[in-house]
C-alpha cells in the first residue's frame, strides 16, 4: 500500500480523506492541520497532529490548503528529498520548496464539505517534476478515481481557468436567475430541469452546437423585450455582454 500524509483540512482535504479511507490501496498515515480542533473528530480513525515537526514518514505528502499557503507550508516541512504534491489547479509545482521532490495532484471538481462526491468520477490531473515519481502518483490517483490524466502546467492552468467559467461563473448566473424569478414571485425550481438538460446536452454535443436562444437566432424583438423587463442595471449589463458574445460566436 502507498502511504499518504494529508496536510490541511479544507474542503478538498476532507473529501480526499474520505476517498483514501475507502481505498484498499492507500493508507493515511497521518493528518496534519495547524488547528487541531478542525480534525479532532477524526482522532479515533487516523493519527492527527498540529505539530509540523512531528510528521511521520510516508510515500507522499499531499498539501491541500489555500493557494496562497502552499509555498510557505512546503518550506516549513522538516525533511528533504521526500515526495510532496499539492492539489491546486492554478499553482505551479515549482512553488513547492525545492528541497523535496515535487508534483501536483489536482482533482478537477468543485467541493463542499456538506456535499457528497463520487470520487471515482472525479478527473485527477497529475504532474511531476521527476519522471520516476509519476507512476507512484498515478497509482494513488487510480486508487480513488477512474479518470486520471497527465497534464503539463499550461494545460492545468487552462483547465482551472475553464473550470471557473463552467462552474463559478455559471453558478453566479444561477444566482442572477434566482434574483430575477424572486423579483416576480416566480419559482426558481421550475428552471432546474432546464439546468440539468443543459448540462446533459454538452455530454453529447459541443457547446457550439448545443447553443440555442434569442441571441443565436438574432431575435431582436425578444432581446429588446428582455432588456426592458430587467430593472437591475447589473443584470442588464450581463445580459448585453453575454448576448453580444453569443452573437459574435455564431456570426450574428
Residue 74 has a CB neighbour count (10 Å cut-off) of 22
Q: Is residue 93 domain-shared with residue 58, that is, in the same domain? A: yes
> Which of 14-18, 21-25, 116-120, 153-157 is the least confident region?
116-120
Q: Is residue 36 domain-shared with residue 121, that is, in the same domain? A: yes
Cα(238)–Cα(173) distance, integer angstroms: 9
CATH number of the structural domain spanning residue 202? 1.10.1040.20
> What percentage of the chain has pLDDT greater than the value 90?
95
Q: Is residue 122 domain-shared with residue 193, that is, in the same domain? A: no
Domain end among 98, 122, 151: 151
Cα(102)–Cα(127) distance, integer angstroms: 9
Q: Is residue 28 domain-shared with residue 137, that is, in the same domain? A: yes
Domain that holds residue 85: 2-151
What is the C-alpha end-to-end distance of the chain, expressed in Å? 57
**Confidence tier at 252 by pLDDT (50, 70, 90):** low
Q: Is residue 132 domain-shared with residue 238, that is, in the same domain? A: no
Q: Residue 239 has what pLDDT?
A: 97
The DSSP result for the chain, as a single string, is -EEEEEE--SHHHHHHHHHHHT-SSEEEEEEE-SSGGGTGGGTTTS-EES-GGGPPP-SEEEE-S-HHHHHHHHHH-S-SSSEEEE--SSS-GGGS-TTSEEEEEEE-S---TTS---GGGS-EEEEESSHHHHHHHHHHHHTT-S-EEE--HHHHHHHHHHHIIIIIIHHHHHHHHHHHHHHTT--GGGGHHHHHHHHHHHHHS-HHHH--STTTTT-HHHHHHHHHH---HHHHHHHHHHHHHHHHHTT-
Domain end among 151, 172, 202: 151
Per the structure, the count of domains in the chain is: 2
Q: Is residue 137 domain-shared with residue 16, that is, in the same domain? A: yes
Q: Is residue 54 domain-shared with residue 79, that is, in the same domain? A: yes
**Mean pLDDT, rounded, of the chain:** 95
**Confidence tier at 115 by pLDDT (50, 70, 90):** confident
* Beta carbons of 100 and 84 less than 8 angstroms apart: yes
Please check the confidence at residue 112 and state whether its pLDDT lies above 90: no
Q: Residue 116 has what pLDDT?
A: 84
CATH number of the structural domain spanning residue 13? 3.40.50.720
Q: Is residue 108 domain-shared with residue 8, that is, in the same domain? A: yes
Q: Is residue 21 domain-shared with residue 121, that is, in the same domain? A: yes
* Average pLDDT over every residue of 125-129: 97
Q: Is residue 120 domain-shared with residue 174, that is, in the same domain? A: no
Q: Is residue 138 domain-shared with residue 175, that is, in the same domain? A: no
* Average pLDDT over every residue of 167-176: 96
Q: Is residue 181 domain-shared with residue 146, that is, in the same domain? A: no
* Average pLDDT over every residue of 34-42: 94
* Beta carbons of 30 and 5 less than 8 angstroms apart: yes
Domain end among 151, 184, 217: 151
Amino acid at each position: 500500500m502507498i502511504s499518504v500524509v494529508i496536510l490541511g483540512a479544507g474542503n478538498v482535504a476532507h473529501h480526499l480523506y474520505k476517498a483514501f479511507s475507502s481505498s484498499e490501496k492507500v493508507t493515511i498515515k497521518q493528518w496534519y492541520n495547524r488547528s487541531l480542533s478542525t480534525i479532532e473528530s477524526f482522532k479515533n480513525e487516523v493519527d492527527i497532529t498540529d505539530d509540523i515537526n512531528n510528521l511521520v514518514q510516508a510515500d507522499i505528502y499531499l498539501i491541500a490548503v489555500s493557494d496562497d499557503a502552499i509555498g510557505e507550508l512546503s518550506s516549513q516541512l522538516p525533511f528533504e528529498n521526500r515526495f510532496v504534491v499539492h492539489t491546486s489547479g492554478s499553482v505551479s509545482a515549482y512553488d513547492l520548496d525545492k528541497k523535496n521532490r515535487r508534483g501536483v495532484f489536482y482533482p478537477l471538481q468543485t467541493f463542499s464539505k456538506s456535499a457528497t462526491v463520487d470520487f471515482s468520477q472525479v478527473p485527477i490531473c497529475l504532474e511531476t517534476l521527476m519522471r520516476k515519481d509519476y507512476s507512484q502518483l498515478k497509482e494513488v490517483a487510480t486508487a480513488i478515481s477512474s479518470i486520471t490524466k497527465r497534464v503539463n502546467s499550461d494545460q492545468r492552468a487552462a483547465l482551472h481557468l475553464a473550470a471557473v467559467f463552467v462552474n463559478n461563473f455559471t453558478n453566479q448566473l444561477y444566482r442572477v436567475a434566482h434574483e430575477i424569478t424572486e423579483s416576480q414571485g416566480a419559482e426558481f425550481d421550475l428552471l432546474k430541469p432546464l439546468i440539468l438538460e443543459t448540462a446533459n446536452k454538452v455530454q453529447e454535443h459541443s457547446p457550439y452546437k448545443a447553443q440555442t436562444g434569442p441571441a443565436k437566432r438574432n431575435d431582436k424583438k425578444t432581446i429588446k423585450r428582455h432588456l426592458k423587463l430587467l430593472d437591475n442595471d447589473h443584470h442588464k449589463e450581463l445580459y448585453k455582454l453575454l448576448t453580444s458574445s453569443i452573437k459574435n460566436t455564431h456570426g450574428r
